[in-house]
Amino acid sequence: MLELIESHASFGGTQRIYRHESKAIGLPMRFSVFLPKEASQQRVPALFYLAGLTCTEETFPIKSGAQRFAAQHGIALISPDTSPRGAGVPGETDAWDFGVGAGFYVDATQSPWSKHYRMYSYVRDELRETVVSELAIDGTRLGIFGHSMGGHGALMLALRNPDIYRSVSAFAPIAAPMRCPWGEKAFGGYLGADREAWKQYDASELVGKATRKFAEGILVDQGMADQFLAQQLNPDVFEAACKAAGQPLTLRRHDGYDHGYFFISTFVEDHLAHHARVLVG
């Protein structure tokens, strides 16, 4: 059952925040949703947006300006929180890049994280099923995108589940998490020392094993003044993996842009258009 926390008129539709008891997480979870005006009369396609480190369900709707373009295309926008809250795991708030605000969209297998840190199952199954059953969302027309840690999540979830997500894009994704400090820290902590187990969550490893190509292409935008580009993001690795796998990719490199939401808000219109071509036609 959904509990409505906030609702605001926005571009002819409504921007809302909901809370619900999550079985996958075992704790209450919050997510934001923008519903265009069409949702008052019919089911609409939807885009899941996965946010980055330290963000919440509110970050994207407040900072991106995406509602204007979602309204133009008649697409809903859904953004979950980035981790469980209140799990009480010792040390979960000690670092900004692991634990609270940093669930990395994986299902943890290592104690004590495995009890509540199950963001993969939450996003793919429970959240999707909840919005389709409780809101005017067309479950056959879903796409996914995200930023940084959430860009990793979007690419990974789409590549693993092309039967669920029909379109995918990312802003400055952690594109090869097995090869960067953020990913090694998160995967080691949540999944343990076996690097073979990490491959199921690494987009650059998954693209060659995907059961279906995204024929319309994957869109990735990367700022070249991004302070995390050199050590953490590895877009070149993902680009090479896509080329080897025959997966169409549009990787756009933008001089002068950094890692933040000024970058995202500049190009979010293009991402909505990319998804609308698939989900709306």
Q: What positions carry a catalytic annotation?
A: 148, 226, 259
Question: Which tokens is 7 given?
Answer: 């609702």
Longest dimension (CA), the chain: 50
Q: Which one-letter DSSP state was computed for residue 273?
A: H
Q: Give the 3-state secondary structure of residue 111.
A: coil
Determine the distance from the C-alpha atom of residue 156 to the mean position of all C-alpha atoms in its chain, rounded to a whole number: 9
* Spatial distance between the Cα atoms of 272 and 280, rounded to a whole number of angstroms: 11
Q: 212 vs 164, 181, 200, 207, 266, CA distance in Å?
A: 11, 30, 16, 9, 30
Q: Compute, in degrees rounded to 10, the torsion defined by CA atoms 104, 110, 113, 119.
A: 40
Which of the 8 DSSP states describes residue 150?
H
Report CA-CA distances (Å) from 227 to 64, 231, 232: 20, 9, 9
**H helix or E strand, kind and range, residue 121:** helix 119-121
